[in-house]
Amino acid sequence: MKFATAVTDDYVPGLLALIKSIEENGKIDFSFAVLKLSDISNKNLNLLESLDTKVELFELDDLGKFEFDKNLMEMQKRYQHLKKLLVYNLPYDEKMCLIDADMLCLNDISNIENFSPISAGLNNGRVYPKTIFDRPMFNTGLMIFKPKKESFKEIQKFALDQKDKIWYGDQAILNRFYYKKYPENVNILGNNWNTLISIKRFNKRLWKDVKKEGIKFLHFTLVQPWTHLCFKDLMYKFFFEKRELYKKCNFIYNNLAFYEEIKMWKNYYHKAIQEV
Q: Read off the pLDDT of residues 139-177 as tens digits, 9 standing for 90 and up.
A: 999 999 999 999 999 999 999 999 998 888 899 999 999
Tell whether pTM > 0.85. Answer: yes
Sorting pLDDT into bands at 50, 70 and 90, what band is 92?
very high
Radius of gyration of the chain (CA): 18
- CA 7 to chain CA centroid, nearest Å: 10
Q: Read off the pLDDT of residues 240-274 as tens digits, 9 standing for 90 and up.
A: 454 454 455 565 556 678 889 999 999 999 999 98
Q: Which residues pair with 188 in a beta bridge?
A: 120
Fold of 2-222: Spore Coat Polysaccharide Biosynthesis Protein SpsA; Chain A (3.90.550)
Q: What are the angstrom distances between the C-alpha of 265 and each of 23, 62, 103, 165? A: 14, 32, 9, 35
- The overall average pLDDT reported for the chain is 90
Question: Domain locations in the chain?
Answer: 2-222
How many residues does the structure list for the chain? 276
Q: Read off the pLDDT of residues 43-58 as tens digits, 9 standing for 90 and up.
A: 999 999 999 999 999 9
For residues 176 and 162, is the Cβ–Cβ distance under 8 A? yes
Q: How many CB atoms lie within 10 A of CB 160?
A: 11
pLDDT for residue 72 is more than 80: yes
Half-sphere exposure of residue 169: CA atoms within 13 angstroms, side-chain side: 16
Sorting pLDDT into bands at 50, 70 and 90, what band is 231?
very low
Sorting pLDDT into bands at 50, 70 and 90, what band is 81?
confident
